[in-house]
Amino acid sequence: MKDINFEKEFHSIKEFAEFVGITEKTLRRYDDEDIFAPAKRDGDGERNKYRFYSPIQITTIKMIRVLTEIGVSFDTIRELKHNRTPEKLLKLLRQHKNQIADNINVLQEVYSIISTYNELLYDAISVTETEITVTEMPKRNIILGELTDFNETAGFYREFVRFCRTNHEPNLNMSYPVGGYWDNITSFFNEPAQPARFFSLDPNGNDYMPAGLYLVGYTRGYYGQTNDLPKRMAAYAKNNGLKFEGPVYNIYLTDALSEIDRDQYLLQVSASVVETRHSKSRHPQYYFKK
Amino acid sequence: MKDINFEKEFHSIKEFAEFVGITEKTLRRYDDEDIFAPAKRDGDGERNKYRFYSPIQITTIKMIRVLTEIGVSFDTIRELKHNRTPEKLLKLLRQHKNQIADNINVLQEVYSIISTYNELLYDAISVTETEITVTEMPKRNIILGELTDFNETAGFYREFVRFCRTNHEPNLNMSYPVGGYWDNITSFFNEPAQPARFFSLDPNGNDYMPAGLYLVGYTRGYYGQTNDLPKRMAAYAKNNGLKFEGPVYNIYLTDALSEIDRDQYLLQVSASVVETRHSKSRHPQYYFKK
DNA sequence: TTGCTCCTCACGTCACGTGAGGTGGC
DNA sequence: TTGCTCCTCACGTCACGTGAGGTGGC
């Protein structure tokens, strides 16, 4: 980076571009598009019609960049330039102030969605699938749907769509992962493909997975397929003096998003358990995650 | 909005588009671009090759929307789709998580810039130009530049550019408005076009305009032009038993940004004052803002 | 036949970026 | 002449949107 010549009152396009952090191309386009012209321009035949910018123009170009950054069109900026008054600029800024606040909220929501998927995917990568674990889990906010009604005519999707379409408080944001909920382990063992409710892992939800001890198991397969997981969970609980008590949640850690083979989707089942008085000494696999 | 037919396992493109909040056009393009295909498609000659989507696809399309929203290209999404693994999706999400955090910060900065200009413009609109007022002002954070050095060869711009180029803590964000600073009223009266320092109205600054009583006056003209403002300020102070004590700040409430006629740029000068023991009863124009 | 949904295909838009080929003044 | 900066002009790109004209099945 060469030192700027402080004696000059004007900057070449290259100097000014570097000064304000904009490409030369963009400055030329702004000139062509009649939204920001150089302070001075060489005449015809003279030094190839060079553009010269004044340092004082930095305020204007910076505001134009703020405006373009928040999505104000060239047309609007051009109109403003030709007809500018403090009132007009104030009105434009006020309008977009609210819009920026909205954008910030959207980005924060996207950040939260990505964080949620990050956790799921991290689990999916770290899991030893055949292992059953017992974990002390913190309270986790969710949105819990209404009771499902799988009668003879109702396919799985009818109830899933009903969950998606029902009004929830807060509004269901389907960008968060959705899972199945059962009131107790017996319902899950009986109908592992028909949750009593659906739930969304939305951290803004007013319902929650209660904190406590959960028995967590995994299996792979297409939606609704549980293989020998119920058997393995039951055996593990019996061998380790644990009693199923409370709800069961399942969630697909991988599905069409990250797994090509649909028979390899990774299902995680978390069942609430309590230790019985007659608990044996702790099994080696029995541990507490932080 | 028609009720969806819950008996169907598939949705038409129109239903699905409305279901997930995306236009039909966009869904077709995603299909054409090979980044998201319908679950089922009519054969040739049969119902015009209609596309049908499954409710379960909502998870995937929602994630694709999250990805496009954070600026992931179609190429990247296509690559992910053809070669997807939990690791790859996790990596992509992690990369963009930081980027989103950066975007949020940028937007918050833009919001702050707009708020600052809003205040200035609001003042500019409400001002009675010939009126001098006395105002109790709160402390206001700014970035204060080094001492200027206007020797015989140095034009105004040389010192202005030096202010812009000097490293400040925090970094000078030229999107905030810049004004002039004088240590006392005498310096301002003597050299109203040559501030002792420049300052930026950056609320992240570590320096500040001290809280206290300020005499505030306005005048119109091109940069450096103060007209009779010094005289009016001096007269007002004398008549109202006020003594100038402390720094003077000037700032252009309107300039090339919002004013077409450069001889009408609106200059605001705020000079720190104290009441003297011999203050007369308060002048009608003498009041406290909020 | 009429109306309906959905289809393809070509073209427009917006705010950029790229890259070829040329000019004036040291 | 050489090298330098800057010039114009035509075209590419990306993720959309629009709108004309057509088809299958009620």
Burial class (CB in 10 A: 0-12, 13-18, 19+), B202: buried
Report CB contact under 8 Å: A84, B111: no
Structure-model confidence comparison of residues B151 and A56, the more confident one? A56
Query: Of all protein residues, which has its CA closest to the C1' atom of D16?
Result: B26
A187: CB partners within 8 A, 6+ apart: A196, A248
Instruction: Report the pLDDT value the prediction gives residue A8, as an integer from 0 to 100.
Output: 62
**Other CB atoms within 10 Å distance of the CB of residue B163:** 23
Q: How far apart are CA A79 and CA B262, in angstroms?
A: 18
Rounded to 5°, the CA angle B77-B81-B85 comes to 110
Q: Which amino acid appears at position A196 of this protein?
A: A
Find the closest chain B residue to A37 by CA distance.
B256
Q: Which of A100, A113, A223 sits opposite B56 (nearest CB)?
A: A223
Q: Which of A85, A118, A223 sits opposite B97 (nearest CB)?
A: A118
pLDDT grade, residue B279 (50/70/90)? low
Closest CA to B105 of A107, A117, A66, A63: A107
CA of residue A15 to C1' of nucleotide D6, angstroms: 12
B43 sits within 7 Å of strand D by its CB: no
pTM of the model: 0.88
Report CB contact under 8 Å: B93, A118: yes
Report CB contact under 8 Å: B259, A125: no
pLDDT digit string, tens, across residues B205-233: 999 999 999 999 999 999 999 999 999 99
Show residues of chain B in contact with A175, CB under 8 Å: 62-63, 65-66
Q: How far apart are CA A254 and CA A122, in angstroms?
A: 10
pLDDT grade, residue B36 (50/70/90)? very high
- As a whole number, the mean pLDDT across chain B is 91
Say whether B28 sits in a helix, a strand or coil.
Answer: helix
Nearest-CA distance B118 → chain A (Å): 6
Burial class (CB in 10 A: 0-12, 13-18, 19+), A225: middle
Instruction: Report the pLDDT value the prediction gives residue A279, as an integer from 0 to 100.
Output: 54
pLDDT digit string, tens, across residues B6-21: 446 899 999 999 999 9
Structure tokens at A276: 């019985």
Q: Which amino acid appears at position B167 of this protein?
A: N
Instruction: Report the pLDDT value the prediction gives residue B91, as an integer from 0 to 100.
Output: 94
Positions in chain D where some atom is under 7 Å from a protein CB: 5-8, 14-18, 22-25
Instruction: Report the pLDDT value the prediction gives residue B124, as an integer from 0 to 100.
Output: 95
Query: Alpha helices, DSSP H only, in A166-211?
Result: 185-190
| Nucleotide nearest B46, from its CA to each C1' | D24
**Percent of chain B with pLDDT strictly greater than 90:** 84
Pairs across A and B, CB distance < 8 A: 190
Per-residue pLDDT, averaged over B257-261, amounts to: 95
Q: Write b or e for each residue in B206-238: b if 16 or more Cβ atoms lie within 10 A of its Cβ, otherwise e.
A: ebebeeebbbbbbbbeeeeebeebbebbeebbe
Instruction: Report the pLDDT value the prediction gives residue B160, as an integer from 0 to 100.
Output: 94
Find the closest chain A residue to B158 by CA distance.
A6
pLDDT grade, residue B3 (50/70/90)? very low
Q: How far apart are CA A231 and CA A189, in angstroms?
A: 9
A1 sits within 7 Å of strand D by its CB: no
Instruction: Report the pLDDT value the prediction gives residue B6, as an integer from 0 to 100.
Output: 46
Say whether A181 sits in a helix, a strand or coil.
Answer: strand
Instruction: Report the pLDDT value the prediction gives residue B48, as an integer from 0 to 100.
Output: 86
A1: CB partners within 8 A, 6+ apart: A18
Burial class (CB in 10 A: 0-12, 13-18, 19+), B7: exposed
Site of tokens 């705020």 = B270
Per-residue pLDDT, averaged over B119-130, amounts to: 94
pLDDT digit string, tens, across residues B234-251: 999 999 999 999 999 999
**Other CB atoms within 10 Å distance of the CB of residue B156:** 17
* Low-confidence residues of chain A: pLDDT under 50: 1-7, 281-290
Positions in chain C where some atom is under 7 Å from a protein CB: 5-8, 14-18, 22-25
Closest CA to B257 of A53, A85, A75: A85
Q: How far apart are CA B82 and CA A222, in angstroms?
A: 19
Does A195 sit behind a cis peptide bond, omega within 30 degrees of 0 on the bond before it? Answer: no
pLDDT digit string, tens, across residues B154-194: 688 889 999 999 999 999 999 999 999 999 999 999 999 99
Q: How far apart are CA A257 and CA A253, in angstroms?
A: 10
**Percent of chain B with pLDDT strictly greater than 70:** 91
Nearest-CA distance B102 → chain A (Å): 10
